[in-house]
């Protein structure tokens, strides 16, 4: 946790002592009354917060804004729904890298029940976004959608964006050499067993070029992270 993030409604504090952020501030950072730590408001500014009081009930603090925070890259990620533990990694890593949206789609080779796992039904998924933002010293969270079809996701995002789908079988060039434009990009990554032939055809019909990440097949979460990292470099 490189920055402690608060909801806008928490800006005035206090934090309960059992809150993980309070434990981090007091036990990991070792902050005492009068000492400051890096903090931010989710989807808002970054700044410094000063501990103003600590008792058995909670931790009080005062937040002071210093800058508006990092903006997200104009990259939209479409990724096949996978096992919950894989989706958790994608949520956190894609947020850390700075994707502006993540669309988890039902694919032909994916398990439909993944869309109704506790990760999604309990709202747990948002916690992984916050953890990813905190890791990256950021306050911004991507838009997240899950359980829609690939066709619906393709219709929802893109517009005039460059469009690239990662594929191990029919891609003619490496992602680093692919022409995706320099305004905004949609990156599509298949679920754990990749795209089917009909899905490749749909992607191509929707304007996607196929690209690969080399000869070694990667896990979905690894491919998504590497792909986003390569594309994010274009906006640095």
pLDDT higher than 90, residue 10 = yes
Mean pLDDT of the chain: 94
Instruction: Tell me what the mean pLDDT of segment 124-131 comes to.
Output: 97
Report how far residue 107's alpha carbon sits from residue 46's, in angstroms, rounded to the nearest whole number. Answer: 38
Tens-digit pLDDT profile for residues 175-212 = 999 887 778 999 999 988 889 999 999 999 999 999 99
Query: Which region among 2-11, 70-79, 155-164, 210-219 has the lowest average model confidence (pLDDT)?
Result: 155-164
DSSP tally for the chain: helices H, then strands E: 7, 11
CA 57, chain centre distance (Å): 33
> What domains sit in the chain, N to C, each tagged with a CATH number?
4-67 (2.40.240.20), 75-235 (3.40.1280.10)
Structure tokens that stand for 61 in this block: 């603090």
Instruction: Tell me what the mean pLDDT of segment 1-5 comes to.
Output: 94
Only one residue has tokens 């990813």, namely 132
Instruction: Give percent above pLDDT 90 in the chain.
Output: 86
Instruction: Give percent above pLDDT 70 in the chain.
Output: 100
More confident residue, 98 or 236: 98
Report how far residue 141's alpha carbon sits from residue 178's, in angstroms, rounded to the nearest whole number. Answer: 27
Q: Are 215 and 168 in contact (CB under 8 A)?
A: no
Report how far residue 80's alpha carbon sits from residue 188's, in angstroms, rounded to the nearest whole number. Answer: 8
Report how far residue 72's alpha carbon sits from residue 139's, in angstroms, rounded to the nearest whole number. Answer: 10
Sign for the CA dihedral angle at 34, 44, 73, 89 comes to: positive
pLDDT higher than 90, residue 107 = yes
Label residue 56 left, alpha or beta by phi (over 0 means left) and psi (-120 to 50 means alpha): alpha
């Amino acid at each position: 946790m490189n920055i402690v993030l608060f909801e806008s409604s928490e800006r005035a504090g206090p934090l309960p002592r059992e809150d993980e952020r309070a434990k981090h501030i007091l036990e990991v950072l070792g902050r005492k009354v009068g000492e400051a730590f890096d903090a931010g408001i989710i989807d808002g500014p970054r700044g410094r917060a000063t501990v103003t009081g600590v008792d058995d009930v909670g931790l009080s603090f005062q937040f002071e804004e210093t800058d508006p925070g990092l903006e997200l890259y104009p990259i939209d990620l479409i990724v096949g729904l996978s096992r919950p533990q894989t989706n958790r990694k994608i949520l956190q890593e894609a947020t850390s890298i700075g994707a502006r949206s993540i669309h988890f789609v039902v694919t032909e080779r994916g398990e439909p029940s993944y869309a109704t796992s506790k990760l999604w039904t309990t709202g747990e998924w948002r916690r992984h976004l916050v953890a990813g933002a905190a890791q990256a010293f950021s306050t911004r969270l991507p838009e997240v959608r899950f359980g829609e079809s690939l066709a619906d996701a393709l219709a929802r995002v893109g517009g005039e964006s460059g469009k690239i789908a990662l594929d191990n079988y029919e891609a003619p060039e490496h992602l680093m050499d692919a022409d995706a434009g320099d305004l905004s990009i949609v990156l599509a990554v298949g679920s754990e067993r990749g795209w089917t032939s009909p899905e490749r055809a749909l992607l191509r019909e929707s304007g996607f070029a196929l690209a690969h990440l080399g000869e070694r097949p990667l896990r979905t979460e690894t491919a998504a992270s590497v792909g986003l990292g390569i594309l994010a470099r274009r906006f640095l």
